[in-house]
Amino acid sequence: MTSRPEAELDTSAAAETKTASGDNTRKVFVRTYGCQMNVYDSERMTDVLAPQGYSTTADMEEADLVILNTCHIREKAAEKVYSELGRIRKVKEERAKAGKDMMVGVAGCVAQAEGEEISRRAPIVDMVVGPQSYHQLPSLLDKARQGQKVVETEFDIDAKFDHLSARAEKPIMKRPPAAFLTVQEGCDKFCTFCVVPYTRGAEVSRSVEQIVTEAQRMAASGVREVTLLGQNVNAYHGEAADGSTWGLGKLLRRLSEIDGLDRLRYTTSHPRDMDDDLIEAHRELKSLMPYLHLPVQSGSDKILKAMNRKHTRDEYFRLIDRIRVAAPDIALSGDFIIGFPGETDQDFEDTMDLIRRVEYGSAFSFKYSQRPGTPGATMEDQVPEDVKSVRLQELQALLSEQQKAFNASRKGMTCDVLLEKKGRNPGQLVGKSPWLQPVQLDAPESMIGSVQAVEIVEIGSNSLFGRLIAGQDAADGSGAIPAPAA
């Protein structure tokens, strides 16, 4: 994949889940837009609501509570939310005719950015909740039921992290084999194209103890792979029990010691925070998967400076060289913004040259769009849309070619695959390779949740197709043959 879809990511639950008491009578529908951190936050929202008697539903029309967990990164993100609220209004009106109530909440980064404006433009919304306040959902719901219009967008990230830690001490129901775990939020980089510092706040890290406790509970509930999340995850600087500060490399080493937690990943990283200890962790830790998402955004020094990235293309090249010495088989992923203000044909060619030299296994690419409130939105020399479109098409063709070449290089290898779910066809399972590619193969359903040795026999446009190595079972997924270096 060379471009994240413009459509929102819908992670509304596919089935109901009940609390331990089994007495859930209310239903909540959560629609998630955007990044993995929002997916994690949505899951935590349902955790917070479960003791209040809520179970999840995939059918909005039967929901007593609808929450839109929003993202502000995409162009016209707020307008898409208002459009969705228009559809929700009709559902709410139909439920009212049948004598049924429906509460509506808007959470996440659009909620943080728009605040009171959402209540003004969409009177059906009962709650507006910023990304650092969802742990207060039960009390906010109580206020909304009393007829108050709730707008809670205060930055109290420490309270949120404390709540997550307390939640981790409680039993967790069985979870899918792969899960997200937020370790850091916010960003201090202030790239001129980005709204994150304004919607998520400054960089704050959870304590080592909080993260380890939650990871241990995840492993006990069936999670085999954890992806550590942060807006700038490799800027992690969490406090340990002895008062010292740990970086991401040291945290990964500690998590690698947890029984049952076989695979570790992290995203999203900034080149400026890729330190020696983290690079060395890629050399040392078998459980740290050979995949790294390290956005560069542009290959032009002039544009990198205008973006306030505070690194050069040569510094990025040298960093990539060090990473590949430590982990020769690593799959590199990146982000590219095309058509940033002032980008010339030569600037674009510099980006294409960088891509050719680095050779990515996958990447995401976008046309620059103006984010209100960011410095980039008011810069001169905005690039015409037709020029952006032509450049993006050319860049995506190159990235697609590189992705296909990387996937093809996996053919004939035998590698570990985490089997995560049933496939579309009977007897088929879908898993994940060490390099984050989907792998489809025939295997018994009992193997879901195990790591198995799989030979890659065919290559698809986005997926790999594998053959299960004989002699394995669901209880023994540790016999995989390591893939040779590419």
Is 415 marked within a binding site? Answer: no
Q: How far apart are CA 440 and CA 177, in angstroms?
A: 16
**Which residue in 429, 432, 478, 434 sits closest to 452, CA to CA?**
478
Q: Contact at 8 Å (CB) between 350 and 313?
A: yes
| φ/ψ bin of 310: left (φ > 0), alpha (ψ from -120 to 50), beta (otherwise) | left
As a residue count, the chain comes to 486
Q: Spell out the residues 6+ positions from residue 107 whose beta carbon is closer than 8 angstroms to its own.
A: 41, 45, 67, 68, 69, 70, 127, 128, 129, 130, 131, 134
Residue recorded with tokens 């810069």: 379
By the 8 A CB rule, do 269 and 233 touch? yes
Is 109 one of the annotated binding-site residues?
yes
Confirm or deny that 35 is annotated as ligand binding.
yes
* Closest to 36 (Cα-Cα) out of 181, 201, 214, 133: 181
Q: H-helix or E-strand containing 46? A: helix 36-49
418, with CB counted inside 10 A (0-12, 13-18, 19+), is buried
Residues at the binding site for [4Fe-4S] cluster are 35, 71, 109, 187, 191, 194
Residues at the binding site are 35, 71, 109, 187, 191, 194
